[in-house]
Amino acid sequence: MRYRDENKVQAIRESAIAMVAKDGLENFGINRLAKAAGVSPATIYIYYKDKEDLLTSISIEEGLKMTTATLKGFSSDMSFKEGLWVQWKNRAAFALDNHLSAEFFEQLRNSTYKDKMVEAISDAFQSAMGNYVKNAIDRGEINEMPLEVYWSVAFAPLYSLIKFHNEGQSLGGRKFKFSEKVMKETFDCVIKGLLK
Amino acid sequence: MPHILIFKTNIATAEDRSKVAPLLNGQPFIEQWTVDIEDVDCVLRVVTAEPAPQPIIALVNAGSYECTELED
């Protein structure tokens, strides 16, 4: 008789995320994962049918974790400035605390796992984000603009700071460490550019 | 509650799998089965009402494929 062992499930999940983040999808396999997680391959098959099933489930779980973290304390009724600041703080905290998760998603980019993950999380997330932007436009706080333009101004600067931080350096090898102060300074420029 | 049994086999290709399928499909005690043909152990995973591996091993052997239970 086999019972679900949450500690083992957790070890399998964490090792899978770390392995994919580090080595990518091509080298990922159940046997290698079993060794890394300290469980037998049979144990992994108790919980997942195969590699596809495992990666799909884990990417959906991680995606939900990310969106829940991103939407924490956020409401689509907030003023544009307040809402964007909550978003920045949440996104920065998640990315800094879960950088393996961010690298895992990066490896998943352009894979079918990513599509399934986006499918699973998109509803709640997209309606919250969509309503927030629509409210801000309706209130005359920001102009209507293509999504790509909005994202590139509203969020890309934050991810650029996080990338510098994770690499430990910015341009020309300058040492860089993320801080709330540098985030706020960047945010102030961004909000100036977006508000009417 | 259903049981999950895990076996090492040599069901290595989609063709092998289609040969085993008629033996496993339609067994009242097998709720669901899958083979991971990408895995080195060609793992057969069976969701079954009975915790007994022997009938499943016998069915797979009857199709001239190897099948041994994978232990934890």
What is the CA angle B41-A115-A49, rounded to 5? 25
Report the alpha-carbon distance of residue A164 to residue A166 in Å, rounded. 6
Per-residue pLDDT tens listing for chain A (196 residues): 456 778 889 999 999 999 999 999 988 999 999 999 999 899 999 999 999 999 999 998 998 898 999 999 999 999 999 999 999 999 999 999 998 998 898 898 878 888 888 887 777 788 899 999 999 999 999 999 999 999 999 999 999 999 999 999 999 999 999 999 999 999 999 999 999 9
CATH number of B3-69: 3.30.70.100
Handedness of CA A11, A12, A13, A19 (dihedral sign): positive
The answer to whether the beta carbons of residues A44 and A30 sit under 8 Å apart is yes
| Burial class of A98 by CB neighbour count within 10 A (0 to 12, 13 to 18, 19+) | middle
Q: Please tell me what DSSP assigns to residue A72.
A: T
Could you give the C-alpha distances from A26 to A21, A29, A47, in angstroms and in order? 11, 8, 22
Instruction: Provide the angle, in degrees to the nearest 10, between the axes of the packed helices A80-97 and A180-194.
Output: 140
Preferred mutation among A26, A49, A55, A56 to probe B, highest tally of B CBs within 10 A: A49
ipTM of the complex: 0.79
What's the distance, CA A173 to chain centroid?
Answer: 26
The answer to whether the beta carbons of residues A99 and A148 sit under 8 Å apart is no
Q: Which pLDDT does position A36 carry in this prediction?
A: 92
Q: CB B6 to CB A1 under 8 A? A: no
Q: Which ranges of B1-72 would DSSP assign to H, the alpha helix?
A: 14-24, 54-62
Give the nearest chain B residue to A41 (CA atoms).
B72
For chain B, the domains span: 3-69
Could you give the C-alpha distances from A94 to A68, A83, A88, in angstroms and in order? 10, 16, 10
| Burial class of A12 by CB neighbour count within 10 A (0 to 12, 13 to 18, 19+) | buried
Chain B residues with CB-CB distance to A under 8 A? Answer: 3-4, 6, 34, 36, 38-41, 43, 45, 51, 70-72
Of residues A1, A2, A30, nearest to B39 (C-beta): A30
Partners of B3 on chain A (C-beta within 8 Å) are: 1-2
Report the alpha-carbon distance of residue B32 to residue B12 in Å, rounded. 19
Q: CB A50 to CB B36 under 8 A? A: yes
